[in-house]
Structures are given as C-alpha cells and as structure tokens.
Structure 1
Amino acid sequence: MSSPKQSLIADLGLAIMRWQDQTQKFDELVGRIYALSASERLCLSFLMNGPQTASAIAREIQLTPAAVTTLLDRLERRSFVRRQADPADRRKVMVVADAAALALARDVYAPMAEAGAAMLDQFTLDELKVMQRVVAAAMAVQEKAAAELEARGTARA
C-alpha cells in the first residue's frame, strides 16, 4: 500500500511526463507550420540566448560542424539567422537570430510565455521558489539520465 506522499510522487511523475509530451507536440506543430526540423528549432532556441559561434551551436544541438554549417545555410536563406563578424574579434563569425526567428518568437512563443507568467502569478513567492528548485532538480535528473543513456547507446553502436 502506498503512502499519500508516494501516491503524489507517482501522480507528479505522470503529470511531468504529460507536460513533456505536450511540449513536444507543440514544438513539432511549430516545426510543421514553419517547416523547421528539430535541429533547426533547437538552434533557434539556443540563439535566443544571444549570438553564438557555429561550434557552440554544434555542441549544444549535438551535430557535427559540417552538419551545422549546412543547417545554418538553410536557416540563413530563410532569414532565420545571419552570420556576422564578432565585434571583439573580427576573425570570429557569430550567428545571430534574424527577422524570421524574432517574428517566430514574438508570434508563437511570446504569447505562451505571457500565459505562463500569468499562470505562475497566482502562486506565492515561497511556492515559486519551491517550483524553481523542483524544475532545476528535474532538469539535473533528466540531463544525467540522458548522459547515461547516450553512454549506453554509444557502447552498443
């Protein structure tokens, strides 16, 4: 017989799994509507943090440098990204989000961010601090599980 705490942990686990599924469905719908692959969406998401080098993008989305070059060429042709010289080191090329990426963020993701902020506003500061700890801990668990799965998959290849 499970305790109320064990039951709630199981319920939360299922809710988190459904949340991940809904997030994936939303992102896949964005991909279908805007004709963006998963790697392209990950690249654009990463660029929302600011300009990045192609090598940083390759590491983040786990593609080879050659594959990232091809991906950036496709995105650049569609005005999702542009390459520009790094003002601090003119030899270095930075990739920045361009007009189409900024429009996508504004039209699709900003309304969801606003709705999410409104939803979170109903919670107290202490509740939000707990949620922040939970999300950070859950991300750490998922990153560790992904690294272990990748290592196991690599060993089998």
Structure 2
Amino acid sequence: MRLVHLLRAVTVEFDLLGAEFAARNGLHPTDVRALIHLLDAARTDTRATPGWLGEQLRLNSAGTTALVDRLERLGLVRRNRDTADRRRVLLEVQEKATELGWSFFGPVIGGVVAAAEGFEAAELETVRRFLTAVLESTERAGL
C-alpha cells in the first residue's frame, strides 16, 4: 500500500501544479488536460480531432466544441483541415501553449529528469513497466 499512497501523493501534487498553472493563465483545469492530451498526441503522431479529444476528456460534442473554441481564442490551439480528408479538422497546439507550459513546468520536469539520473537503466525500466501497468489498470477501471 505504500506505493499506492506514494502514487496518490504524486498525483495530488501534479493536480495542484496543474490547478496553479490553470489559474495563473486563465484556464480551466480541463483546458490543461486537453493541452496535455494534444501534446501527447503530437509526440506519438496521433491525428487529434475534436472527437478524439472529447473521448480522451470524456466530454460530449458541445463541451468539446466550447473547450476548443476557448483554447483557440486564447491562441493555444489551432484548428487545421486535414490535407488527406478536408472534411476532418485536426487540432494543433500552438507554440504559445508550449512556451507557457515550459515556463511553469520546466523546473518540475528538470527535477524529475535529475532524479531519474540517479537510477540505473534497468531500475528506470522497472519503474516504466510499473507505471505503465498502473496506467493500464486505471484505464480498465474506467475511472
């Protein structure tokens, strides 16, 4: 249970950081989660459509549209027509959002990277496998 409690503590800290980032930048916590999903999609070459984003956030179509409208108004996200299918809209995180994120979360990310440097590659692989299994477990639970 100590691992469960540690994971909970880390989650609470990240949630607090996300809420502080949102408050400082006039965002809703869901906006921050949306930006994270969109950044992750870009990293994995996933075509992020409004429908896909709504599924990730468990929002209905109207809620997703309002969220994307808000992020677009703030200059954080841009809608682009898919060149392969002009009927489809793709979402792209703008440089402004990335810069905001790095200015706030950069020190935290740097601290995590520095902490990881104190571990052997095999230890980090074990941590990666564990966190992946925990993530898959929570996704299966549908929470």
TM over 0.5: yes
Aligned to 1:127: 123
2:111 alignment counterpart: 115
- Which residue is 2:132 aligned to? 136
Counterpart of 1:93 in structure 2 is 89
Aligned to 1:13: 4
Distance in structure 1 (CA, Å) of the matches to 2:80 and 2:140: 35
Counterpart for residue 26 of structure 1: 17
Which amino acid counterpart does residue 38 of structure 1 have in structure 2? P
Does the 8 Å contact 1:78/1:100 carry over to 2?
Answer: no
1:81 deviation in Å? 0.6
The one-letter code matched in structure 2 to 1:13 is V
Partner of 2:34: 43
Cα offset, 1:121, TM superposition: 1.0
Name 2:101's counterpart in structure 1: 105
Q: Deviations over 1:14-43 (max 9, x none)?
A: 222211111111111111111111221111
TM-score normalised by length of structure 1 = 0.80
Structure of greater Rg: 1
Paired residue type of 2:139: E
Give the TM-score of the pair, scaled to structure 2: 0.87
Partners of 1:55 and 1:11 in 2: CA distance:
38
Superposed CA RMSD in Å reads 1.6
Q: In structure 2, give the amino acid aligned to 1:80.
A: L
Query: Does the 8 Å CA contact 1:76/1:82 hold for their aligned counterparts?
Result: yes
Distance 1:122 1:83 in 2: 41
Whether 1:68 aligns to 2:64 is: yes
SS in 2 for 1:87: coil
Query: In the alignment, residue 12 of structure 2 is paired with which amino acid?
Result: D
Q: Which runs of 5+ in 1 are unaligned?
A: 1-9, 150-157
Aligned length: 138
The alignment-based identity, stated in percent, is: 25
